[in-house]
Amino acid sequence: MRIAVYPGSFDPITYGHLDIIERAAQIFDRVIVAVCVNPDKRPLFSMEERMEMIAQECAHLPNVEVKCFRGLLSDFVRQQNASVIVRGLRAVSDFETEFQMALMNRKLNPHAETMFLVAHPKYSYLSSSIVKEIASLGGEVTDFVSEQVALRLKEKFSKTRRRA
Ligand code: PNS
């Protein structure tokens, strides 16, 4: 059985992530969407919120599950008996960091191969950060995230605006 891990921050999940997950789900027997607990980042959404949103978006994909991990991705991949790490590539600018991460992960876990899926052109300019910025300024984000995620973004930022 081929198990792939698709790691990320998913703060929040966008249509760009979902496109990669759907395509990975066609290629691999099981896909684990792995949400990273990163102590250096202050995410907008809690781990529970991020996992809930991903689970809702992936409800139609029976071979996809959502987990969280802390520490090294290479260790998590080993624990899950996965042989592949999936990452999406949007543009050449992604390449340098992704290349470094792929080589380092291979050094740390030689049994796991990183595979890149090239983002669909219609999502190549999309990132969770830019979606959060647009939502924080009151812009429409329903072309980039699902209705449920857009609603959660709206709720988050209406709370912060009320506090400001
Ligand atoms: O969605 P992101 O923020 O681009 O995801 C980055 C992520 C979570 C994949 C990366 O930061 C990661 O793998 N973190 C885990 C810590 C780790 O293993 N670091 C060494 C990787 S070379």
- The pLDDT value recorded for residue 164 is 59
- Output the average pLDDT for the chain: 96
More confident residue, 142 or 93: 142
| Residue 86 · residue 117 · CB < 8 Å | yes
| Predicted model pTM | 0.96
Measured between alpha carbons, how far is residue 94 from residues 82, 99, 114 in Å? 24, 9, 14
Helix (H, G, I), strand (E, B) or coil at 42: coil
Question: Active site residue: 30, 50, 87, 90, which one?
Answer: 90
Whether the CB of 89 sits within 6 Å of ligand 1: no
CA of 37 to the centre of ligand 1 (A): 9
90 an active-site residue? Answer: yes
CA distance 88 to 127: 11
Q: Is 8 in the pocket of ligand 1 (CB under 6 A)?
A: yes
In order of 1, 6, 22, 80, 98, the CA distances from 17 in angstroms are 23, 9, 9, 21, 16
**Closest-lying ligand 1 atom to the alpha carbon of residue 74:** 18
CA pair distance 99, 46, nearest whole angstrom: 29
State yes or no: pLDDT of 125 exceeds 70: yes
Q: Is 87 a catalytic residue?
A: no
Integer Rg of the chain from CA? 16
Q: Rounded to the nearest whole angstrom, what is the distance from the C-alpha of residue 42 to the centroid of ligand 1?
A: 14
CATH fold of 3-121 reads Rossmann fold (3.40.50)
